[in-house]
Amino acid sequence: MGLLVRRISNILGIMSGTPCKTYKRPFTVCVEGNIGSGKTTFLNHFKNYDNTVVLQEPVELWRNVAGVNLLEIMYKDPRRYACIFQSYVQLTMLQLHTYKTQLPYKVMERSVYCSRLFIENMKRNKILQDFEIVVLEEWFDWCIKNADIETDLIIYLRTSPEIVYQRMRIRARKEENSVSLEYLKQIHEIHDEWLLYQSLFSLPAPVIVLDGNKSIEEMVAEFDKCKNKIFTQQREGENDTITANTTISATHGLKEIKTVDICK
Ligand SMILES: Nc1ncnc2c1ncn2[C@@H]1O[C@H](COP(=O)(O)OP(=O)(O)O)[C@@H](O)[C@H]1O
Ligand SMILES: Nc1nc2c(ncn2[C@H]2C[C@H](O)[C@@H](COP(=O)(O)O)O2)c(=O)[nH]1
């Protein structure tokens, strides 16, 4: 069977969800963006593919910790509760990163890397005390060094603060009643520093930047462009006659370009 035919059959096999191969780890995508930027909505498109596991942000866990709404009390009294909230966010996100699956693709809403952004914003606003910052950052550094949280692609839904403020108000999550446009501007800026200007923390994977200001209908086309790029990435070391026990090389074929605008 020619090389091209083998590659197409492999891609079609993956696309159709034919359970023909096992993978040492899935090709992992993290969808990042501001509050209300459209991450959950974007993630829902991936739920139509049975070769992909979709892991949404565990907000419901944060809303009920032994009967306490940690998200709510964090917003109400950040100086008192932000540290414990961040610690729980890091734990619950780590659980998603290390979620085991035989499927070839895993798409996550946000990441443990993103919780570091919120911590950095809290540092700038002097919400956290120095010893709390040390504990959280040592926690994070240990995760990065020791946990299996390899990421292959970041999709940054870059949505203006004004638009996410509108959407957040319409969504009307009670815990977010006190979230201001100024706060959303800070979170927007710190996402840009990390993912657009890449001047903050190191990037775990290449970044696709999407215009999250587009309408729900227009985002379907953005998803389709990304989907085709994600599901057909030829990974380095992936041989064409993958057998059930072949493990895919942990590296992938995406060029080491930090920001790829491949969803034209
Ligand atoms: N492209 C879009 N255009 C208009 N409204 C959107 C769009 N994407 C999401 N929304 C709406 O905005 C709100 C926040 O979207 P959501 O997907 O929950 O964002 P996130 O998960 O980033 O917080 C929801 O009410 C959703 O229906
Ligand atoms: N202080 C932090 N807040 C966080 C973090 N991760 C998420 N969140 C908040 C933001 C929203 O109010 C809510 C869910 O986020 P969406 O973007 O899905 O609306 O949780 C964090 O690390 N720190």
How is the chain split into domains, by residue range? 23-234
Residue 149's alpha-carbon distances to 18, 112, 169, in angstroms, are 26, 9, 33
For residues 16 and 216, the model is more confident at 216
Percent of residues, the chain, with pLDDT higher than 90 = 71
Residue 54's alpha-carbon distances to 21, 35, 69, 147, 195, in angstroms, are 19, 19, 24, 20, 22
CB 263 within 8 A of CB 229: yes
For residues 73 and 225, the model is more confident at 73
Residue 259's pLDDT is what? 44
For residues 236 and 115, the model is more confident at 115
Q: What is the CATH number of domain 23-234?
A: 3.40.50.300
Closest ligand 2 atom, residue 59 Cα: 14
Query: What is the pTM assigned to this prediction?
Result: 0.84
Query: Region 22-32: what's the mean pLDDT?
Result: 86
Ligand nearest to the CA of 136: 2
Q: Summarize the annotated binding site for ATP as residue ranges.
A: 33-41, 167-171
Residue nearest atom 23 in ligand 1 by C-alpha distance: 36
Identify the residue whose tokens are 């606003």.
125
Closest ligand 1 atom, residue 36 Cα: 23
Average pLDDT, the chain: 84
Give me the torsion for CA of 40, 45, 47, 52, rounded to 10°.
Answer: -100
Residue 257's pLDDT is what? 32
Residue 173's pLDDT is what? 96
Does 84 contact ligand 2 (Cβ within 6 A)? no
Does 170 contact ligand 1 (Cβ within 6 A)? yes
Q: How far is the C-alpha of 81 from the C-alpha of 205, rounded, in Å?
A: 31
What is the distance in A from the centroid of ligand 1 to the CA of 63? 20
Adjacency order of strands within the sheet including 105-109: 52-55, 105-109, 27-33, 153-158, 207-211
Residue nearest atom 8 in ligand 2 by C-alpha distance: 35
pLDDT class for 170, splitting at 50, 70, 90? very high
Ligand nearest to the CA of 215: 1
For residues 244 and 166, the model is more confident at 166
What is the distance in A from the centroid of ligand 1 to the CA of 246? 39
Catalytic residues: 109
Identify the residue whose tokens are 């990974």.
235
For residues 120 and 253, the model is more confident at 120
Which residues, other chains included, contact 145 with Cβ-Cβ below 8 Å and sequence gap of 6+? none
Residue 69 burial (10 A CB sphere; 0-12, 13-18, 19+): middle
Residue nearest atom 22 in ligand 2 by C-alpha distance: 115
CB 82 within 8 A of CB 122: yes
Percent of residues, the chain, with pLDDT higher than 70 = 79
What is the distance in A from the centroid of ligand 1 to the CA of 219? 11
pLDDT at 32 over 90: yes
pLDDT at 50 over 60: yes
Query: Region 228-233: what's the mean pLDDT?
Result: 78
pLDDT class for 24, splitting at 50, 70, 90? confident
pLDDT class for 233, splitting at 50, 70, 90? low
Interval 99-149: pLDDT, tens: 999 999 999 999 999 999 999 999 999 999 999 999 999 999 999 999 889
Residue 230's pLDDT is what? 84
What is the distance in A from the centroid of ligand 2 to the CA of 260? 26
Does 38 contact ligand 1 (Cβ within 6 A)? yes
Does 36 contact ligand 2 (Cβ within 6 A)? yes
